[in-house]
């Protein structure tokens, strides 16, 4: 059987990755979204097992020690990682898998899965990125400042990726993302 494809979606916090992914998965329920583990506290409306596996620092350290994570990184004071087992099982069954992860994790995937398709989502401008983070209304001022600092570092690395897509108009961006994922143009 043909192996599934690993697709990595990266870009600064607040650029719209989650929004794009939700719509892409609605259009393509055959794609498998890898639910990450994180030590971050849930935001309002986030569901265990659907958005993240919310874990303690101790549990997260155990997962690292036991080799259960395909990649992991620290982001804005919290740990995030991709559980290995589900991803490998889906790919072995011919199912394509999407990871929505930050820059360091995406770099690790390039080492472990060189064939992965890595896509970077860019904001139309830094001002618009800040507006989107604020409009989400879920982060403290301190968290917003940290995310904006980190965003500049991430954006500077966009050229490391196979494809860059600017998330200006949502519907148009979704079409571009879909074309990239299915390599049609």
Binding site as annotated, residues for ATP: 11-18
Question: Which residues contact residue 21 at a Cβ distance below 8 angstroms, ignoring those fewer than 6 apart?
Answer: 9, 33, 98, 100
Q: Which does 102 bind (CB under 5 to 8 A by kind): ligand ADP, ligand 5GP, none?
A: ligand 5GP
Residue 40 touching ligand 5GP (CB under 6 A) = yes
Nearer to ligand ADP, 18 or 94 (CB): 18
Residue with Cβ nearer ligand 5GP (6 or 101) = 101
- Binding characters for ligand 5GP, 58-87, by CB under 6 A (x = yes): -------------xxx-x----xxx-----
| The Cα angle at residue 49 between residues 58 and 170, in degrees rounded to 5 | 115
- Residue 97, token pair as written in the block: 């898998």
User: CB of 2: closest distance to ligand ADP in angstroms?
Assistant: 30
Residue 115 or 127 with smaller CB distance to ligand ADP: 127
Partner from ligand ADP, ligand 5GP, none binding residue 15, C-beta < 5-8 Å depending on class: ligand ADP
DSSP one-letter code for 158: G
What residue 71 binds from ligand ADP, ligand 5GP, none (CB within 5 to 8 A, per partner kind)? ligand 5GP
One of 105, 121, 144, 173 touching ligand 5GP (CB under 6 A):
105
Maximum alpha-carbon separation in the chain: 50
Burial class (CB in 10 A: 0-12, 13-18, 19+), 83: middle
Please tell me the total number of residues recorded for the chain in this structure. 185
Q: Classify residue 157 by burial, with Cβ atoms within 10 Å: 0-12, 13-18, 19+.
A: middle
Pick from ligand 5GP, ligand ADP, none: which does 118 bind, CB < 5 to 8 A by kind? none
């Amino acid at each position: 059987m043909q192996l599934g494809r690993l697709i990595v979606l990266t870009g600064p916090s607040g650029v719209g990755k989650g929004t794009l992914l939700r719509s892409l998965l609605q259009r393509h329920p055959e794609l498998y979204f890898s639910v990450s583990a994180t030590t971050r506290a849930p935001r309002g409306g986030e569901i265990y097992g659907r958005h993240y596996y919310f874990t303690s620092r101790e549990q997260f350290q155990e997962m690292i020690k036991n080799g259960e994570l395909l990649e992991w990184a620290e982001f804005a004071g919290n740990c995030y990682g991709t559980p290995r087992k589900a991803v490998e099982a889906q790919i072995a069954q011919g199912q394509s898998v999407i990871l929505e992860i930050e820059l360091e994790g995406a770099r690790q995937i390039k080492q472990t899965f060189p064939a992965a398709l890595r896509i970077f989502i860019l904001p139309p401008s830094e001002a618009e990125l800040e507006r989107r983070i604020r409009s989400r209304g879920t982060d403290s001022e301190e968290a917003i400042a940290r995310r904006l600092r980190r965003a500049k570092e991430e954006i500077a690395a966009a050229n490391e990726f196979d494809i860059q897509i600017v998330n200006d108009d949502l519907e148009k961006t979704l079409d571009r993302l879909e074309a990239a994922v299915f390599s049609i143009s």
